[in-house]
Amino acid sequence: MAIAVGVLWLSWYFVDRNAYLRFRFGDWRPDLGVWTRMLKIGLPAGTEFGLMGVYMVVVYAITRPFGAAAQAGFGVGLRVIQSAFLPIVALGFAVAPVAGQNFGAGKGDRVRAVFRDAAAMVTAYAVMAGVAIYLWADPIMRLFSSDPEVIHVGVDYLHVVALNFVAGGITFVSASMFQAMGNTLPSLATSFLRLIVGIVPAAMLAGRPDFALTWIWWFTVLSTVLQMALNLVLLQREFRLKLA
């Protein structure tokens, strides 16, 4: 329903007689060249979001032997992290068009400035949000459950993943920069690597009698930091190649 309302609202903007952008039905003929360029940028970026779903499926499969309470604790903790991450997502979505417009205009210094400013804002917010979640993990979990096991699993999850906020934020912003410059393959490649490092070791070790859920969370932190480092290296390479 929300999407339907949004579509109608935006459509009304375009049909307004005084609108800056107007529908021109004569321009709706397929342009395969434009379609190809759009898909080259969009498909890898869309696949990145699909990998998040794969991660969720594997983690829930690994946590299933620990019982419903463990899965509930992970689920609540994950939603808390996702909610706190929303401002970073919003900033990342804003980075792509702003940097992309300056990239198209040949303003390389502005493209770099967009990334520097966005990374600084993300880092400042991520530090504050991460510290807050780490310190108040227990009260936050108690808002959603009174089950001691659910709270215990959720608090452990929040304590570990809160350390990941800065790396996750910079990773998201750098991925948006790849979109802005029309090459999303590097970001897709690092996302695959993050998936492999984050869940393959956990899946392989899940059968050990001493396996603990916190191992999964620490593998997640390791994989995110690795992806951030690779994204920064590849982004600097992209800057050298395209902003000279």
What CA–CA distance (Å, rounded) separates 39 from 166? 30
Cβ neighbours of residue 14 closer than 8 Å, sequence gap 6 or more: 21, 22, 23
Confidence of residue 238 (pLDDT cuts 50, 70, 90): very high
Fill in the DSSP letter of residue 143. Answer: T
Give the pLDDT mean for 39-44.
86
pLDDT in tens, 91-113: 988 999 999 999 999 999 999 99
Q: Give a yes or no: residue 162 inside a domain.
A: yes
- Other CB atoms within a 10 A radius of the CB of residue 244 amount to 6
pLDDT at 135: 95
**Tokens encoding 159:** 């304590």
Domain that holds residue 222: 67-242
Q: Give a yes or no: residue 122 inside a domain.
A: yes
Q: Give a yes or no: residue 10 inside a domain.
A: no
Measure CA of the first residue to CA of the last residue in the chain; give whole Å: 46
3-state secondary structure at position 146: coil
Confidence of residue 29 (pLDDT cuts 50, 70, 90): confident
Q: Give a yes or no: residue 234 inside a domain.
A: yes
pLDDT at 161: 92
Confidence of residue 190 (pLDDT cuts 50, 70, 90): very high
Contact 174, 187 (CB under 8 A): yes
Give the pLDDT mean for 204-211.
88
Q: Give a yes or no: residue 16 inside a domain.
A: no
pLDDT at 15: 77
Q: Give a yes or no: residue 107 inside a domain.
A: yes
Q: Give a yes or no: residue 169 inside a domain.
A: yes
Q: Is the pLDDT of residue 116 over 90?
A: yes
Hey, which bits of the chain come out as E strands?
none
Q: Give a yes or no: residue 46 inside a domain.
A: no
Contact 51, 195 (CB under 8 A): yes
What CA–CA distance (Å, rounded) separates 63 from 149? 13
Cβ neighbours of residue 221 closer than 8 Å, sequence gap 6 or more: 160, 161, 163, 164, 167
pLDDT at 229: 96
Number of domains in the chain: 1
Q: Is the pLDDT of residue 24 over 90?
A: no
**H or E segment and range at residue 12:** helix 2-15
Contact 57, 204 (CB under 8 A): no
Q: Is the pLDDT of residue 16 over 80?
A: no
Contact 190, 231 (CB under 8 A): yes
Contact 227, 194 (CB under 8 A): yes
pLDDT in tens, 146-182: 999 999 999 999 999 999 999 999 999 999 999 999 8
- Mean of per-residue pLDDT scores for the chain: 90
